[in-house]
Structure 1
């Protein structure tokens, strides 16, 4: 195995572990990251030695280690994505006249890391630092639609994973898959009243160089043409993708 594939597999394992609410067994990691057992074991062993993964021997599970936390803390301090996105998000708000925000996936939630509020628009629940269920938000659906099916399945193993806010939205993996399939076919994600009654959102994913969704750009509105707004949101997301060396 060359160094590049090994590094890619290690990063996929880290990304998967970061998306889980708790440490997970080896079999879950193998399925989610599409790794043979021997490869997964040796890769995890090396990551344990470097401090990026911790092995809970009594539980036969693996979780993120202190080194992974240090990397995440460094990212939080530098806020590179937020810095890059601030001006494009402000320009998006100027074009559409509605508030916009940037969110990243955190387990089964989206974490809002940037918000640009349109003048005269009311405050939203999507303030910076707020977390909301990914399967109910347009930003979350835009991100989830770009993830491997195995990773989505691992995130939503059963009905208890589907948090309810206002009695709407998918409540099973099958229903979520339908929503994500429609998102991919449409080219953007939507939600209508599932986060806040009376408000709707459209969103598109920001992609890295592997076409992996690293964030979602969304606009929230009370009145407007979702297709017209989505075109502007996709334009902003594509521009951010290019700025981070990703694919538009």
Structure 2
């Protein structure tokens, strides 16, 4: 079982407490309510303020919830709404192609899976809801990255240290990733073969929406003989339906 991180736990407790208050509160009140040392509370608040998760009001000597915390809440609302809107289109996609499908959103240099529709009789996948995977290794991540401006991709992957590995396959340098994304844009969809899980393949299409960075993907066992062109056409229709629902 992972060990708890006291500072991280205390930070989250402070943020949760502030989110329940009708107005900003003094640091002393936060420390007393959470049974934290005053010095620790001040250190936590200062660090959180530097990242805009809390705001300090010096005239009143109080602290309140910051813009970054609001943005996190908005992100959750968008993802939850996206999952609801995409559930029926993904279920129909699975019925049509007979393979499992999932919806993922870009979060930093990872993708987070927010919806999965399992095809009957198909093996379980690592792309369960809530799982995070390196975007550069997944078809979903590549579909989204290929739609981003080059400057944003460079910011996410500035050097070799930004690249992680799962199976020994996939790009390991910025130039290799650029080549993958160029080919993805040329093709019109993203592919992944054994880079997430050996023996499994995926194809993905980006959801064309200015409000979310998401992609729909289909995954199957690599040994299966599938009509990739048919799957891609079904994916494109599904991604368009999801984008239409978002609008």
TM-score by length of structure 2 reads 0.71
Matches within 5 A, 1:165-244: 165-208=166-209, 210=210, 214-222=213-221, 223=224, 224-244=226-246
Partner of 1:156: 157
Partner of 1:41: none
Partner of 1:120: 121
Q: What is the number of residues matched between the two proteins?
A: 184
Return the offset for 1:152.
0.1
Return the offset for 1:68.
2.9
CA distance in 1, matches of 2:199, 2:154: 30
* SS of alignment partner, residue 167 of structure 1: coil
Return the offset for 1:122.
0.9
CA distance in 2, matches of 1:125, 1:144: 21
CA distance in 2, matches of 1:75, 1:174: 31
Matches within 5 A, 1:55-74: 56=50, 63=51, 65=53, 66-74=66-74
* SS of alignment partner, residue 229 of structure 2: helix
Cα 1:64–1:112 shift into 2, 3 Å: farther
Structural RMSD (CA): 1.7
Q: Which runs of 5+ in 1 are unaligned?
A: 1-53, 57-62
Which protein has the larger Cα radius of gyration, Structure 1 or Structure 2?
2
Q: Which runs of 5+ in 2 are unaligned?
A: 1-47, 54-65
Return the offset for 1:244.
1.3
Moved over 6 A (4+): none
Return the offset for 1:204.
0.4
Deviations 1:93-150 (A, max 9, x none): 0000000000001111100000000011111000000000000000000000000000
TM-score by length of structure 1 reads 0.70
CA distance in 2, matches of 1:198, 1:127: 17
Cα 1:162–1:64 shift into 2, 3 Å: farther
